[in-house]
Structure 1
Amino acid sequence: MATSKTLTRSVPAQARRGQHPGISLAVIATTQLMVVLDITIVNIALPHISTALHFTPTSLSWVLNAYTLTFGGLLLLGGRIGDILGRRPTLITGVLLFSLASLLGGLATASWMLLASRALQGIGGAIASPTAFALIATNFKEGPERNRAFGVYAAVAGAGGAIGLLLGGMLTSWLSWRWVFFVNVPIGLALAALAPLYINDSERHPGHFDLPGALSATLGMVSLVYGFIRAADSGWTDTWTLVSFAAAIVLLSSFLVIESRTTQPITPLKMFRNRNRSGSYVMMLCLAAAMFGIFFFMTQFIQDILGFSPIKAGFAFLPMSAAIIVAAQIAARQQTKWGARPFMILGTVLVTVGAFWVTRLDIHSSYVGGVLGPTVIFGLGMGCIFVPVMLTAVSGVAPHEAGAATGLLNTTQQVGGSLGLAILVTVFATAERNQLKVQHPHPDPNQAFVHGMTSAFWVAVGFTLLAFVMAVFVVRPQARPSGAPPPAEAKEATAEES
């Protein structure tokens, strides 16, 4: 299979290791925070955006989808670009592109301009995010130092969604919806200026840009997610719903064929031969599917049913964010002693309990009695899981494939979130419609919403249970500390680095 461009010269990294590890980690973590929180920061601003730019209720959903789909779909290519061109310049390019797109989004005067800028933000995020994750291995020594760095990164990645809701509420209420985009511009420019000074670059490996693989994967995932979203509005027998699913099958099948025949694929299929790594990918996909869906509906429940203001709704998620941060730090520090699997099992148990608990919500539930407890437990579970899953996904991967490994992990998270949200929205819409029919001729929209929401949450419970099965029956204990490659792989890595 032909690929687009080949680089024939390996450029060695020119970098200093560990001169200012605190600043290095701050740049990497802030990059990830900026990318992750932009998935949710616009949620609270959506009503204002709809009024200002004349979105219809259906088209408004694409303000979110245009970002998450391009972000998730191109993460694999983003990781590969970092491997070939060097991770530090790739990080800077992604951050600057993200900042430019944010500026254009804030200046948008028509709906199509905002959607185009959101898609461009997704491209910039897809370039920057896997590169930032891979740069932890370049800038921090293997062992406790790297585990602590992963802990900070995981806490930021896990809490970014809730921070985005809080910041979005503040900016929308105090300034304007446009500032949920403008806020990224000064942050991005500062990161681009600091990265050359404090980030250690990686070795550049000659190789191909696998554009056919990237395009088939991206278009296939877009088709699959669109099929579920279309089914929520138009039903499963709708022509475009069926066409979307058929296109997804063809495109994703083509992706697998391309990756199996290409000499340097963006997704080396051999990585799936490791059962621990495959199990960690499935876990991330399932947990993201549950988390994105629960997050989406809970923000609406808190504002529309409980009557919280945007700022108060943002603060309502702070306990969950704190739980993620605390649990992630504990898990990171205890990896060497306990390994990854115990935290994976404990984490999946906790998220399942939290997901089951929110299925018990009703129209009379309160924040303290019905929302606070399950969201904190869910946050503790996610915090326990993030670091072990990340370390397991990159354990034993050769340096020249680190970008592909991290890109695939991030892809499973974003694609899992998009697919999970689409599936939960489909279940929600069906259950809500049926409930309104039952209530005819005196429908209660709030009660129908809560019925649809809790019906969708049962699907989230199914996702968390599948993650639990992966942790118990697929991932196996490791004799060495999590994150350390086996001796043979360590020798191979050392030889390649030298």
Structure 2
Amino acid sequence: MSIGSADKQSASEENPASGSDSLVAKLILVTLLTAELLIQVDQTIANVALPYIQRDLGFTDSGLPWVVNAYGLLYGGLLLLGGRIGDVFGRRRILVVGVTLFSLASVVCGLSPNPTVMVIARAVQGAGGALTAPVVLALIITSFAEGPSRQRALALWGSASAAGALFGLLIGGLLTSGPGWEISFFIAVPIGLLVVVLGGRTIKESRAEERPSLDVAGAVTVTAAMLLTVFAFLDTEDSWTSPMRGGFLVIAAALLVVFGVVERKQVHPVVPLRIFKLRNTNAALLIMMLFGVTQMSYFFFVTLYLQKILGFNALQTGLAYLPLIGTLLVFAQICMKTIGKVGMKQMLTLGLLSLGLGMGWLGLAADSGTFVSTVLGPTILSGIGLGLTMMPATTAATTGIPPADAGAVSGLFQTSILVGGSVGLAVLTTVTQAAGGLEATHGYTVAFLSCAGVMAVALLIATLIIRIPRQADTA
């Protein structure tokens, strides 16, 4: 399926600066990247502060994980809805609403007097993030024409998205060890204000040319299905045979069947089924689901390996991710500058191969037990893979989609990463427990080698299914 001329015209008229090096285009990109970084950083910034939050607010051991889970539940469950809301009501408007909601909730998090307020505020943060993240990607798609300008924007977006969680760990460690965990939440306010002001002044409103209806039935069923799916996999300690987990998954599967039936009858479905007729989009969504498995598992298992096996504290753990951040940012720039010569598909396969080799190296070296011999080399190789993967995968997923569906595809893309990561982490945690747990190196070996196998499957999909003509790489 190709974009009609009217769609192309609509996309270019929404932002005349699209594809140019004008100051307006640069400000638009800075605004969107800042919003993306803000959302991604806050997914992990509180993780290293959890013991301090527990001490100051009086969380129980069973309640403490909900500081993280409340955010993840609403963020993951509402991504698809957030993307479509942007398509219907205007992406700039929803960007401003989402960032404002996120910033206000951040203030409440920092001022929380008790666990209940903290958990509710984190949930509202997640909802704000779910409104913001898909419209950021959708605005990049609609603001920059296909070709080098969009590829540059997507490369920078990919860097901000992949590095955000790492920056969150680093910033969280620094602030928690210094002025206090509360500041970790307060820093969202000036950043959010910057996004709101710049976004209101530089980004033109973007929505479907013929404003579609919201599709309430589809929105309710898919949101409920996503919420139940994410919730079922939040507790990685729960048994796979748990009646509660199984029940949530059965209900979620039933809701997805109902959702499919509902969408076939809708004139303006929340997830247009025509999206799934695009070969590259389908392949890219599947690849990013597998990518999510490795990305989330990497952060989880490497963090535990550094602390449980190598004895790192929170600040040392955050600093240990600096080589990954640096490598990721450098190779994202290399990807952006050379992809026209190398080719989109070739760059994607190279990125997946590098990430897979990095995970395999971690698995084979896990018994060594020093940062330099065990973690540093694989970290650099994995950083190369992260830097080379995000932009071509995003381009493959979004090339040829109608501007009216930009939010829906953006929501699907990010939901694929999050759901893949949640499910994969739950599976790998169960596997590592069967292999002896995470108090000894063998469990980490199994986890890292499993991630390498997942990347091998993603590489196979990219090689066999992705079809991007060379002129699409350089247009």
So what's the TM-score if we normalise by structure 2? 0.90
Q: 1:160-219 deviations in whole A, cap 9, x for unaligned?
A: 111111101011110111222111111111211121112233245411213332332233
1:469 aligns with 2:460: yes
Counterpart of 1:238 in structure 2 is 242
1:219 aligns with 2:224: yes
Rate the CA distance shift 1:15–1:279 in 2: closer, same or farther, 3 A.
Answer: closer
Q: Does the aligned pair in 2 maintain the 1:210–1:265 contact within 8 Å? A: yes
Counterpart of 2:3 in structure 1 is none
Counterpart of 2:4 in structure 1 is none
Query: Separation in 2 of the partners of 1:342 and 1:15?
Result: 31
Counterpart of 2:451 in structure 1 is 460
Code of the residue aligned with 1:446 in structure 2: it is: E
Q: Does the aligned pair in 2 maintain the 1:171–1:179 contact within 8 Å? A: yes
1:446 aligns with 2:439: yes
Task: Give the superposition deviation at 1:241.
Answer: 2.7
Q: Does the aligned pair in 1 maintain the 2:76–2:230 contact within 8 Å? A: no
Unpaired segments ≥5 residues, structure 1: 1-9, 434-444, 485-498
Q: Does the aligned pair in 1 maintain the 2:69–2:234 contact within 8 Å? A: no
Counterpart of 2:132 in structure 1 is 128
Task: Give the superposition deviation at 1:325.
Answer: 1.3
Q: Does the aligned pair in 1 maintain the 2:432–2:447 contact within 8 Å? A: yes
Aligned partner (choices 209, 214, 239) of residue 209 of structure 1: 214
Rate the CA distance shift 1:223–1:425 in 2: closer, same or farther, 3 A.
Answer: farther
Q: Does the aligned pair in 2 maintain the 1:79–1:406 contact within 8 Å? A: yes
Task: Give the superposition deviation at 1:414.
Answer: 1.8
Aligned partner (choices 31, 34, 51) of residue 35 of structure 2: 31
Counterpart of 2:203 in structure 1 is 199
Counterpart of 1:172 in structure 2 is 176
Counterpart of 2:5 in structure 1 is none
Counterpart of 1:442 in structure 2 is none
Q: Does the aligned pair in 2 maintain the 1:71–1:126 contact within 8 Å? A: yes
Rate the CA distance shift 1:282–1:14 in 2: closer, same or farther, 3 A.
Answer: closer
Task: Give the superposition deviation at 1:19.
Answer: 4.3
- Aligned-partner SS, 1:467: helix
Aligned partner (choices 141, 156, 166) of residue 152 of structure 1: 156
Query: Separation in 2 of the partners of 1:398 and 1:257?
Result: 23
Query: Separation in 2 of the partners of 1:395 and 1:338?
Result: 18
Query: Separation in 2 of the partners of 1:363 and 1:49?
Result: 33
Task: Report 1:173-188 matches (<5 A).
Answer: 173-188=177-192
Give the fraction of aligned pairs with identical amino acids, expressed as a percent.
38
Aligned partner (choices 291, 295, 309) of residue 295 of structure 2: 291
Task: Give the superposition deviation at 1:313.
Answer: 1.5
RMSD: 2.3
Task: Give the superposition deviation at 1:347.
Answer: 1.1
Deviates more, 1:76-85 or 1:234-243: 234-243
Aligned length: 460
Unpaired segments ≥5 residues, structure 2: 1-9
Task: Give the superposition deviation at 1:389.
Answer: 0.8
Task: Report 1:10-409 matches (<5 A).
Answer: 17=17, 18-204=22-208, 205-229=210-234, 232-362=236-366, 364-409=368-413
Rate the CA distance shift 1:345–1:373 in 2: closer, same or farther, 3 A.
Answer: same
Q: Does the aligned pair in 2 maintain the 1:151–1:331 contact within 8 Å? A: yes
Q: 1:408-454 deviations in whole A, cap 9, x for unaligned?
A: 11111222222222222232334345xxxxxxxxxxx832xx33333
Rate the CA distance shift 1:121–1:199 in 2: closer, same or farther, 3 A.
Answer: same
Query: Separation in 2 of the partners of 1:482 and 1:254?
Result: 38
Task: Give the superposition deviation at 1:329.
Answer: 1.6
Code of the residue aligned with 2:72 in structure 1: it is: T
So what's the TM-score if we normalise by structure 1? 0.86
- Aligned-partner SS, 1:266: coil
Q: Does the aligned pair in 1 maintain the 2:73–2:227 contact within 8 Å? A: yes
Query: Separation in 2 of the partners of 1:160 and 1:154?
Result: 10
Rate the CA distance shift 1:84–1:372 in 2: closer, same or farther, 3 A.
Answer: same
Task: Give the superposition deviation at 1:353.
Answer: 0.7
Code of the residue aligned with 2:226 in structure 1: it is: M
Rate the CA distance shift 1:121–1:475 in 2: closer, same or farther, 3 A.
Answer: same
Task: Give the superposition deviation at 1:303.
Answer: 2.4
